[in-house]
């Protein structure tokens, strides 16, 4: 096969151009730090890089969701911590008001404070996040969760649905929560012993109303609380029955009411058959004085001071304590969700670092390898140029 001079020139020129192109490409990689300069360089690698970039963007969007949730949980936690502190104060007031030495005027002052605490709790229940969305309205974040009616009753306007936010490929966390889940009411037994559900703010209303009840002096005596040895009974210095007498509860009603003009005390039997002693109208808050020693009534002696129904105050203490416990449970639930979100964020950040490392291995140039390759390409280019220069000068006329 014969090779013409023109073929020799063309082939040598192509070799030098290819070598020069390779060196230029390597030099560009070293200048930019990128192994892939243009899409046509490696379409398979370009596809891999695209997949990695989409995966990184998705993980970053998950982290944005997690950050939003953590901020919202923190806002909810602040609101519920304040609610917890308020309920602690409300329970302290209930215990204070249950003391028989607290006057009616003092209880009215306590009722004013309780009303203020209720208003603070209502404001916290209607709190909004940084985006102006109600935090305790369920999925109805654009409405005010708790609304006060004209009669003072508070009703819930939200719902119980939860909006779930994706925080990873296979995991979601709740964005909102129902107000009824946080500001939970209590179960109360009615007069017939049946359970009824009392909402959060009704408990506080009932507590306030119990504080405003007028004080009165009242004594209850059951049939089994009558003395077996004496029938002596003195009320407000008036002899009602002699020691030798043994009146029944019904007979005591007659005897006591016969002396009402002098004692200002009325007697009656209630539905359960108990003897109930109360001061006559106009004398409700007067003391009721019995004998210094126990007589016909085995549990009553000395001076009985006026008080409100102690059962109402005991109920308020118990129910306000239950409200506080419910808030504490909600706080614990939020704390758990914060931990879950923070743990998921750590996982996402690890995934993001790993994906970026994979992307870097595909995109970034290996400088040590590229420098070695560039030097080799320069040497090859110089050799090709030198050999071409020498070979192009060869001619048969030089040997004639």
Domain 218-304 matching CATH 3.30.70.2120: the answer reads yes
> Kind and range of the H or E element at 45?
helix 43-97
Tens digit of pLDDT for each residue in 188-245?
Answer: 877 667 888 999 999 999 999 888 877 778 888 988 999 988 989 999 999 999 988 8
Q: For residue 193, what pLDDT is reported?
A: 72
- Cα(78)–Cα(74) distance, integer angstroms: 6
> What are the structure tokens assigned to 126, written together?
């209607």
Q: Where in the chain is the domain with CATH 3.30.70.2120?
A: 218-304
For the chain, which residues score pLDDT lower than 50? 1, 40, 396-397
Question: What pLDDT is recorded for position 132?
Answer: 87
pLDDT of residue 129: 87
Q: What is the model's pLDDT at position 275?
A: 92
Residues 74, 128: Cα–Cα separation, whole Å: 12
Q: Decide: 185 and 203 in contact? Cβ < 8 Å.
A: yes
pLDDT single digits (tens) 126-174: 999 888 889 999 888 889 999 998 888 899 998 888 888 888 888 888 8
Q: What pLDDT was estimated at residue 190?
A: 72
Distance CA 185, CA 201 (A): 8
CA dihedral 302, 308, 310, 311 (to 10 degrees): 140
pLDDT of amino acid 145? 93
Any idea which residue has 């950040």 for tokens? 349
CB 267 within 8 A of CB 277: yes
Angle at the Cα of 145 (from 143 to 151), degrees rounded to 5?
A: 115
pTM for the structure as a whole:
0.64
Task: Classify 55-213+310-349 by CATH class.
Answer: mainly alpha
Residues of the chain with CATH 1.20.1330.10: 55-213+310-349
The two structure tokens encoding residue 140: 């109805």
Report the alpha-carbon distance of residue 378 to residue 311 in Å, rounded.
100
């Amino acid at each position: 096969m014969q090779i013409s001079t023109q073929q020799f020139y063309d082939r040598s020129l192509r070799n030098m151009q290819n070598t020069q192109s390779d060196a230029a490409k390597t030099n560009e990689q070293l200048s930019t730090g990128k192994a892939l300069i243009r899409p046509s360089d490696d379409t398979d690698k370009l596809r891999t890089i695209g997949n990695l970039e989409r995966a990184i963007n998705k993980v970053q969007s998950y982290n944005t969701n997690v950050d939003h949730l953590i901020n919202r949980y923190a806002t909810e936690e602040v609101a519920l911590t304040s609610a917890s502190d308020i309920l602690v104060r409300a329970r302290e007031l209930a215990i204070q008001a249950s003391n028989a030495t607290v006057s009616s005027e003092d209880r009215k002052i306590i009722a004013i404070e309780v009303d203020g605490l209720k208003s603070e709790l209502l404001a916290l229940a209607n709190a909004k996040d940084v985006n102006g969305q109600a935090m305790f309205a369920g999925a109805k974040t654009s409405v005010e969760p708790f609304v006060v009616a004209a009669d003072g009753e508070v009703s819930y306007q939200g719902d119980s649905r939860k909006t779930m936010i994706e925080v990873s490929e296979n995991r979601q966390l709740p964005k909102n929560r129902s107000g009824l889940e946080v500001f939970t009411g209590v179960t109360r037994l009615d007069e017939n012993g049946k359970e009824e559900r009392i909402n959060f703010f009704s408990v506080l209303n009932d507590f306030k109303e119990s504080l405003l009840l007028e004080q009165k002096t009242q004594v209850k005596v059951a049939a089994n609380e009558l003395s077996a040895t004496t029938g002596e009974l003195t009320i407000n210095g008036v002899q009602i029955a002699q020691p030798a007498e043994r009146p029944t509860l019904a007979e005591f009603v007659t005897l006591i009411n016969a002396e009402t003009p002098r004692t200002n005390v009325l007697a009656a039997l209630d539905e359960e058959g108990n003897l109930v002693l109360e001061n006559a109208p106009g004398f409700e808050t007067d003391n009721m004085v019995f004998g210094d020693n126990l007589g016909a009534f085995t549990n009553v002696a000395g001076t009985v001071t006026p008080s409100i129904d102690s059962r109402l105050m005991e109920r308020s203490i118990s129910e306000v304590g239950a409200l506080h416990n419910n808030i504490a449970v909600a706080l614990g639930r939020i704390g758990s969700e914060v931990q879950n979100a923070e743990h998921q964020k750590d996982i996402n950040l690890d995934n993001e670092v790993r994906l970026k490392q994979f992307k870097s291995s595909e995109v970034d140039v290996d400088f040590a390898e590229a420098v070695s390759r560039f030097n080799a390409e320069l040497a090859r280019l110089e050799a090709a140029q030198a050999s071409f220069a020498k070979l192009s000068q060869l001619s048969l006329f030089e040997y004639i």
